[in-house]
Amino acid sequence: MKPPKDIEKYQEHYDESKLGSKLPRVARKAGSKLVYCVLLLYYVLRSKTVSNADKAKIYGALGYFLLPLDILPDFLPLAGYTDDLTAVIWAIHAVWKNITPEVKAQAAAKTREWFGEFDSSELDEEMK
């Protein structure tokens, strides 16, 4: 999977407080899969064992997610989060070795908190 063009330039847009504010606000519109994927990256980022190179990829993807205007503006019905999902999934593939069962459990628990029932097993298999 090829990374979105120049994803590293979006690192400067990552801010943990902005993510904490945006994610719950857009959760229903973005959907449980995108939210789960963003949370996977967030929890990996908080791990002390992640390399700086992998952190840079995560910062880039989450920074892109936080931008209000991007290639496909988020307010567009159905298509608005497609480019965000592409960046996030690329980052997940790039840092997959850091996604532990504990990270998956944390992301799934938070996703269930916001969406109710949520089974991440099928999605986890697709992302490998």
> For 18-34, how does the pLDDT look when each residue is reduced to its tens digit (9 = 90+)?
877 777 776 666 678 88
* Whether this model's pTM surpasses 0.75: no
Q: Which one is predicted more confidently, 92 or 4?
A: 92
Rounded Cα distance between 85 and 37, Å, is 8
Give Cβ neighbours of residue 78 (< 8 Å, ≥ 6 apart): none
User: Is the per-residue pLDDT at 3 higher than 60?
Assistant: no
pLDDT reported for residue 86: 83
User: Is the per-residue pLDDT at 13 higher than 80?
Assistant: no
- Residue 66 pLDDT grade (very low, low, confident, very high; cuts 50, 70, 90): confident
Question: Which of 17, 10, 15, 2 is CA-nearest to residue 60?
Answer: 10
